[in-house]
Structure 1
Amino acid sequence: MAAARTLVLASHNAHKLEELRRILGPLIPGIELIGYDGPEPIEDGLSFADNALLKARAAAAHTGLPAIADDSGVSVDVLGGMPGIFSARWGGPARSDRANVDLLLWQLTDVHDDHRAAGFVCAAALVIPDADDSEVCRVAVWPGNIAREPRGEYGFGYDPVFIPEGETRSAAELSSEEKDRLSHRTRAFSALAPEIRDRLT
C-alpha cells in the first residue's frame, strides 16, 4: 500500500519538486512525492496535454510507480496562442529565459496595451502503470497580459513580463506564497488532485 501512495514527478527540476510538494501536500495528505532521475522523452506532442502525458508515461514506465508531470508555457492572444508549447525555446537554440522574453517583447512592440492579453497555461497529467483508466490530464489557465518591460526579481521564464489578471504586479513581483495560490500550475494540479485521491488513496 505504501508504494501505491508514492508518486514520482517526471522532472529533473528540484525547484519544481518542492513547489509541487507545497501545492499537493494539503490537497492529498499522505501522498509522498519523489523526484525522478530517469530518461526524459522528446517532447514532440502538439499540445501541452500531449507533452505532459509523454513525460508522465516515461516516468511511470521507468519506475513502475504512478507518475505526474506537467507542461506549461505562455499563450499570447494576438500571436494566435504562441509561444505556447514552444515557450521554452522561443528565443532560439540558447533556450535562455532572457532570449525568450526579449523576442516576445520585440514581437509585441507595436501592440496596444488593450491587445496584449495572454495566459499562462499548464497541463497536469497522471499516469498509473498497468491499470485500467490509467491516464488523466487536466489543463488550467492563469489569465493576464504581457507588460512592456520585465519587472521583478522572483520567478523565472516569462514571469517578469506576465501581469496576472487583477494585479498591477508582474508574476516575478509576487512572493512564492502568492504565486503558489494563484498560478496556472496550482490551478491544474488542484484540478488533478481529486483524480489522484480517487485512484491512489
Structure 2
Amino acid sequence: MEKVLVIATQNNGKAREFRAVFEPAGWQVKTLNDFDHLAQVNETGRTFEENARLKADHFAQILKTPVLADDSGLQVDYLHGQPGIYSARYAGEAHNDAANNARLLANLGGVAPEERTANFHTTLVMAWPDRPAADLVVEGNVPGQILTVPRGDDGFGYDPLFYLAELDKTFAEMTAAEKNQYSHRGAAIKNLLPVWQQWWQEQEQVK
C-alpha cells in the first residue's frame, strides 16, 4: 500500500525540506496544494505548539488522514523573543518575506553584532483523524545571529539574515543537505524520526 504523508502547508520551501527526508524513506509527501477547496486555519494559538496543533488536528479531521503540521518562528533575544509566533506576519497580515525582513532589520538598527543573537524554533505535530489527544509533538531549535544585510539566494522567510557561525553561512547560503542537517526544522525532524513510525502503528491498532 502506498504510504502518503500530508504536510499542512502551502509553502513550497517547507515542502521541499520535508520531501528530502521522507521521500527517500518511501513516503509520498503531499501538501495542502494537492487538495481543492480547503478552508484555512486561523492561527489563534498563543504558542508554537498551539498553532501547530490547530493546523494538524483541523486538516486531519477534514482529510480523514494523518497530517503533519509545523509552526516555526524566529525569536530574537534583543527583541524579547519577537517576532516569535508572528514571524510570518511580522510586517502585516499578508505573508511578505521581504517586508518581514525589512522590519526586522529596522528594529535592530544600530544594535551591535554580539547583541543580535536569535533562536530559530520549530514545533511539529502529527495528528490522527478524530484523536486530538493522541497528537505527537516534537520540537527543534537552532541558535544563531541576525546579520545586518541579507546573504544568499536560496531559502525563504528570514533565511538570508539568519547566520550560523558553525558553517559561516546563512540558511539561504546552505545546500539542501546542509539545511536539513542544521536547520530548526531539520532538528525537529530528527527528533520526530525515532518515534513517529511507532506512533503511526499504535494509532492504526486502535479500534
So what's the TM-score if we normalise by structure 1?
0.89
RMSD: 1.9
Aligned to 2:204: none
Distance 1:91 1:134, change over 3 A: same
Q: CA deviation at 1:73?
A: 1.3
Say if 1:24 and 1:193, in contact at 8 Å, map to a contact too. no
Aligned to 1:99: 99
Please give the alpha-carbon distance, in whole angstroms, between the structure 2 residues aligned to 1:93 and 1:128: 29
Please give the alpha-carbon distance, in whole angstroms, between the structure 2 residues aligned to 1:149 and 1:158: 11
Q: 1:22 aligns with which of 20, 23, 26?
A: 20
Q: CA deviation at 1:138?
A: 1.1
Distance 1:173 1:129, change over 3 A: same
Say if 2:52 and 2:71, in contact at 8 Å, map to a contact too. yes
Larger RCO of the pair (alpha carbons < 8 Å, separation 6+): 1
Q: CA deviation at 1:181?
A: 1.6
Say if 1:125 and 1:192, in contact at 8 Å, map to a contact too. no
Please give the alpha-carbon distance, in whole angstroms, between the structure 1 residues aligned to 2:194 and 2:121: 20
Q: Quick one: percent identity of the two aligned structures?
A: 36
Aligned to 2:152: 152
Q: CA deviation at 1:51?
A: 0.8
Aligned to 1:119: 119
Q: CA deviation at 1:136?
A: 1.7
Q: CA deviation at 1:182?
A: 1.0
Residues 15-24 or 29-38, more deviating: 29-38
Please give the alpha-carbon distance, in whole angstroms, between the structure 1 residues aligned to 2:54 and 2:194: 21
Q: CA deviation at 1:34?
A: 2.2
Give every structure 1 segment of 4 or more consecutive aligned residues whose post-TM-superposition deviation is greater than 4 Å.
none
SS at match of 1:32: strand
- Structure 2 gaps, min length 5: 202-207
Distance 1:170 1:132, change over 3 A: closer
Say if 2:61 and 2:130, in contact at 8 Å, map to a contact too. no
